[in-house]
Amino acid sequence: MHLADLLNVYHTYASTSLAQLYNLLHERALNELSGFNFAAIFAFIAAGFSIVTYYMKTMVPLRIVDIIASLFFLAYGYFYPSGASLCQYRSVDGLAETLHDQTDLQEG
């Protein structure tokens, strides 16, 4: 943005009242958030957990964090109409049962 553009913006909004400016900003925020995808939050959290697994040095925390990531990916597949991701991460139930069975075998 150039200085002339900034001066034009200043002169445009300098004469508006705070209520008008608030309404303008409120409408702008609603327009920006209207296309927001709620399921994307789950996808970003899951991606974060998946990235963390690359820095794990031991296997048990890696599996736990990966299961958490898979649960968030499962939530993403549920809230976003994506059958492929829902089917892919539906195997989390099997992973959790396998992990539980292995833990029981190690204890007993």
**Number of neighbours of residue 96 by Cβ within 10 angstroms:** 13
**pTM for this entry:** 0.51
Torsion sign (Cα): 12, 13, 15, 17: positive
For each of the chain's 108 residues, which pLDDT tens digit applies? 567 777 776 677 677 777 877 888 888 877 777 777 778 888 889 999 999 999 888 999 999 999 999 889 888 877 876 666 666 656 655 666 666 666 665 665
Per-residue pLDDT at 76:
83
Q: Give the per-residue pLDDT at 86.
A: 60
Distance, C-alpha 76 to centroid of its chain: 9
Q: What is the pLDDT of residue 64?
A: 92
